[in-house]
Amino acid sequence: MRIQVLVTATVLALTATACSPAEDKAPAPAEAPLTGRATIYAAGEQSAEAFARALYADAAAPVANDPAAAAISPGRDPLYSRTMNALIGVDFREAEAKNEVPYLNYDPICACQDADGFALTALKMTPDGDKAATAEVAFTNHGQTHQQTLKLVREGPMWRIADVVDAKGKSLHDALMAIAEKAEG
């Protein structure tokens, strides 16, 4: 009988606690919003279009001192496919060995060294299968309109850049591949 009374009292106490007003509970800590590269990485796990939009949103409003961006070395950028990272790495090492500037000495997303008045003005996505997509983009930078095409590929859980093709049809992948082929010879 005594155990039954204790169990009943415990159940009543727990029920009263569960039904107490919300103001008695401490508010849950708010999660900090994602910024910079973290936003791009999260978008890359959603869809090819979300990834492309996040790339250009970051170009329009880059995060100063983004710790994720600061930790990236040439050829190890999570935004690029494995193949592009390998080619970027070769470009960097070859230039370093010759005490020259690498071919890829600019940001291929904005096709620039720095952005001013950058804004994405158009984006057209075309799926190329389950793990590939093409993003045709138009943007303004320094008051000029630019067009380019991103070839995107899904590697693991995230979309990545496999190539950037400018308005004249010049492929970053192909330019870097030519440097890698010379390096082998």
| Residue of 176, 128, 175 lying closest to 152 (CA atoms) | 128
Check pLDDT > 50 for residue 183.
Answer: yes
Q: Lowest-confidence range among 15-29, 30-44, 126-140? A: 15-29
Separation of alpha carbons 19 and 78, rounded Å: 47
Q: Lowest-confidence range among 9-13, 26-30, 65-69, 76-80? A: 9-13
Q: Kindly state whether residue 8 falls inside one of the protein's structural domains.
A: no
Helix (H, G, I), strand (E, B) or coil at 111: coil
Section 81-96 average pLDDT: 97
| Cα–Cα distances in angstroms (integers) from residue 148 to residues 35, 80, 121, 168, in the given order | 25, 16, 12, 9
Task: DSSP for 22-40, please give it.
Answer: GGGSPPPPPPPPP-HHHHH
Q: Kindly state whether residue 52 falls inside one of the protein's structural domains.
A: yes
Strand partners, 153: 132, 160
Print the domain residue range for 145.
37-184
Instruction: Using pLDDT thresholds of 50, 70 and 90, give the confidence band for residue 115.
Output: confident
Instruction: Write down the residue that tokens 């960097």 correspond to.
Output: 92
Q: Kindly state whether residue 171 falls inside one of the protein's structural domains.
A: yes
What tens digit of pLDDT does each residue of 38-62 get? 899 999 999 999 999 999 999 998 8
Q: Kindly state whether residue 18 falls inside one of the protein's structural domains.
A: no
> How high is the pLDDT of residue 140?
96
Helix (H, G, I), strand (E, B) or coil at 136: strand
Separation of alpha carbons 38 and 58, rounded Å: 10
Strand positions, DSSP E, 6-104: none
Q: Kindly state whether residue 167 falls inside one of the protein's structural domains.
A: yes
Domain holding 109: CATH number?
3.10.450
> How high is the pLDDT of residue 15?
44
Q: Kindly state whether residue 129 falls inside one of the protein's structural domains.
A: yes
Q: Kindly state whether residue 137 falls inside one of the protein's structural domains.
A: yes
64 vs 86: which has the higher pLDDT: 86
Count: domains in the chain: 1
| Cα–Cα distances in angstroms (integers) from residue 172 to residues 62, 83, 142, 163, 165, in the given order | 22, 12, 22, 6, 6
Q: Kindly state whether residue 72 falls inside one of the protein's structural domains.
A: yes
Chain mean pLDDT for the chain: 85
Separation of alpha carbons 66 and 59, rounded Å: 13
Section 14-22 average pLDDT: 44
What tens digit of pLDDT does each residue of 123-172 get? 999 999 999 999 999 999 999 999 999 999 999 999 999 999 999 999 99
pLDDT more than 90, % of the chain: 67
Highest mean pLDDT among 1-5, 74-78, 89-93: 89-93
